Amino acid sequence: MFTPKYPTPDTAPPPAAPAPAPTANTPATSAPAPVPVSQAPARPTVQLTPGGLITVVAGGTAVVLVVGTVLVSLLLAVAVTGVSVALVAVVLRLLLKDLHDR
Residue spans per domain, the chain:
73-102
pTM exceeds 0.75 for this model: no
User: Tell me: the pLDDT tens digits for 10-68?
Assistant: 766 667 777 766 666 655 566 777 777 777 667 777 788 889 999 999 999 999 999 99
Give dist(CA 56, CA 48) in Å, integer: 9
User: Tell me: the pLDDT tens digits for 70-93?
Assistant: 999 999 999 999 999 999 999 999
Q: Any idea what DSSP says for residue 25? A: S
Q: Which amino acid is at 24?
A: A
Determine contact, residues 22/28, Cβ cutoff 8 Å.
yes
How big is the chain, counted in residues?
Answer: 102
Give dist(CA 16, CA 6) in Å, integer: 24
